[in-house]
Amino acid sequence: MLERIESPQDLRGLSHEELHDLAEEIRDVLVESVSRTGGHLGPNLGVVELTLALHRVFDSPRDRLVFDTGHQSYVHKLVTGRRDFSGLRQRGGLSGYPSRAESEHDVVENSHASTAISWAAGIARGHALRGEDDRTTVAVIGDGALTGGMAWEALNSLADSEDRVVIVMNDNGRSYAPTIGGLARKLDGIRVDPRYEQFLGWGKRTFENRGRLRTFLYHTVMHGKRALKGLMTDQGLFEDLGLKYIGPIDGHSQNDLETALRQARDYGAPVLVHVLTQKGRGYEPAEQDDADRFHAVGRIHPETGLPIEQSRFGWTKVFADEMLKAGREREDIVALTAAMLAPVGLQPFAEEFPERVIDVGIAEQHAVTSAAGLAFAGMHPVVAVYATFLNRAFDQVLMDVALHKAGVTFMLDRAGITGDDGASHNGMWDMALLRHVPGLRLAAPRDEATLRTAFREALDVDDAPTVVRYPKGAIGDDIPALRQVGDLDVLAELGEGPAEVVVLGVGAMAPTAIEVAGKLAAEGRSVMAATATWVRPVPEGLLETLGDAELVVTVEDGLTDAGVGQEWAEFARLAGRTARWSHHGIPREFLDHASRAQIVERVGLDASAIAEKAEALLS
């Protein structure tokens, strides 16, 4: 049936029996496709009926559908004519998130959470100002993303408007992991309210619908706005904001979903529709096992859900191990996470020291400022977060942590090029941003040994923020230093006599620096490759390391024109050094999704391209 669906209009003539068959087919396609490419499987399996209902009730793209985070947009892609998932998240294939370049039905490409309601509020107000009063804007946001403060800022603003906005809260009780905090407790209370007895089968691991929705007496409702107002009740925390509320709705009942969404659409003012779904629905491994394990998967065996290739020992595992060891030695260490306990490596620490872990939900700003408060109270907070998500809390790093000289350690996972998740997930901005923070110290370890050492050294700093950044994926063998010059480690010395070229590799790019040195040495050059674990402030011994080199080459997986290499070059020039510098990093642009290796080659960060440019400068 899916081959018959070229656009959302094709859904509207289907019977409910055909819709049921289509939903099952879509789930089969998702499992088959994502198992081959990797991607966000669980969130999409949970929103099949919801997505079909949205496209049957609303007229996309005239009515705008805004997906928060975008993890759950695969079904939307399928019913808007994008059925070829063979290249999902690969260069030239479909993005793992909504993409304006792919379809007029896509609006927001930013996969950072808690933004959809603000987008919808702005779009709806724009439509109203243009006199387009027949257009509705829909924000689809999960209960996990609703823990973000920005979502509540938007709700507060929307409640004071009459704009045509429908907020669909996709409540599966989880983000990457079970949703936590006061919001989660409130939603739990709504789920078990006796007025909504149709959800008697809701359990910890399974979802079973044992009844029909009777909340709004759908089959006896009179049409018209006046009747609709009588049906919409203010519920709990939404009442204080003045928002109309419908729900909870069985997120896997096509009839109930469409009836509720039509009511919300016809009301003509902001309405929140509370939809209960099951993450990973219809896929037995996800239903029988931990559904969060299937939030995002690599290549898996579709029958079992087991990975085709076992993950190698990675950077995150090293941090997780060292964090646990440090926690056993120091009672003042407290961990903070923004709804990503397991992905950033804090799960082992949380299991042993649950009282010393704070999961704030998707609220990075709150995490950072509360860490400053913890430091003031005599603790040493460790904020573990993906590098791309620290962007959301830069002001708090600057004004709450650095200004107050708070001893807070930031562990930035997935720093540098991450690749297949696309523009919003590359951790390429952190060094360029953080180099402007007074007093901040930044480490970029090159291997397991230097990651462990840098983390321990960061924990000893109690009067300034410290940052340790490391990439996504497997970790290679340790790279020993031949000798040390101040705070720099010399990794290779090739050729005869003093170094004509010095290649400085930052963090995970240290192996590339060694490879560049080898290629230049093969051309008869005298070359040194070196690195520093602590890259900011400028490491002691830099000038001595440079010596009388004619050319200095820097290699980093951050922005080229605002990064560590530029800062080191400026320092050398102010000291009177006249060597030429050649900086290699990531250009100031948003990178299309592709593998890390493909992006490295495209931006000229591979050893051959760097060596070729250096040789051209020397010649």
Active site residues: 279, 364, 392
**Separation between Cα atoms, residue 245 and residue 232, nearest integer Å:** 6
283 known ligand binder? yes
- The three-point CA angle 410-415-418 to 5° equals 150
CA 524 from centroid of its chain's CA atoms: 45
Task: Say how many C-beta atoms besides its own lie within 10 A of residue 183's C-beta.
Answer: 17
| Residue 144 known to bind ligand | yes
Q: Are 475 and 448 in contact (CB under 8 A)?
A: yes
Distances (CA, A) of 308 to 36, 167, 257, 499: 9, 38, 37, 46
Contact 417, 389 (CB under 8 A): no
Q: Do residues 260 and 178 touch, judged by C-beta distance below 8 A?
A: no
Show the tokens assigned to 66. Answer: 């805004």
Q: Is 342 annotated as a binding residue?
A: no
Q: What are the residues facing 584 on neighbouring strands?
A: 555
Residue 462 assigned ligand-binding role: no
User: What percent helix, strand, coil does the chain show, rounded to 5?
Assistant: 40, 20, 40
Q: Is 359 annotated as a binding residue?
A: no
DSSP annotation of 604 reads T
Q: Within 10 A of 419 (CB to CB), how many other CB atoms are there?
A: 23
Q: Is 172 annotated as a binding residue?
A: yes
d(CA 304, CA 326): 37
Q: Measure the N-to-C terminal CA separation of the chain; round to a whole number of Å.
A: 63
Q: What angle do CA 24, 28, 30 make, to 5 degrees?
A: 115
Instruction: Name the strand (E) or helix (H) holding 288.
Output: helix 284-288
Reported residue count of the chain is 619
Rounded Cα gap, residues 213 and 247, in angstroms: 9
Give the strand pairing for 488-494 and 527-532.
antiparallel
Question: Hey, which residues does 582 pair with through a beta bridge?
Answer: 553
The answer to whether residues 489 and 513 touch, using CB atoms and an 8 Å cutoff, is no
Q: Is 364 annotated as a binding residue?
A: yes
Quote the tokens at residue 173.
Answer: 């009780």
Report how far residue 578's alpha carbon sits from residue 398's, in angstroms, rounded to the nearest whole number: 34
Angle (deg, nearest 10), helices 16-37 and 48-57 = 130
DSSP state of 211: S
- 143 annotated as ligand-binding: yes
DSSP state of 300: B
Angstrom distance (rounded) from CA 505 to CA 553:
8
3-state SS assignment for residue 274: strand
Query: How many Å apart are CA 80 and CA 75, to the nearest integer?
Result: 9
Spacing of C-alpha 527 from chain mean position: 39
What's the CA dihedral at 572, 576, 577, 581 to 10 degrees? Answer: 60
Q: How many CA atoms lie within 13 A of 431 on its CB side?
A: 35
Q: Which helix (H) or strand (E) holds 485?
A: strand 483-485
282 CB neighbour count, 10 Å cutoff = 18
Q: Is 506 within 8 Å of 416 (Cβ atoms)?
A: no
CA distance 613 to 555: 12
Question: Which residues sit in the known binding site for Mg(2+)?
Answer: 143, 172
Indicate the annotated binding residues. Answer: 71, 111-113, 143-145, 172, 283, 364
Q: Which segments are annotated as binding site for thiamine diphosphate?
A: 71, 111-113, 144-145, 172, 283, 364
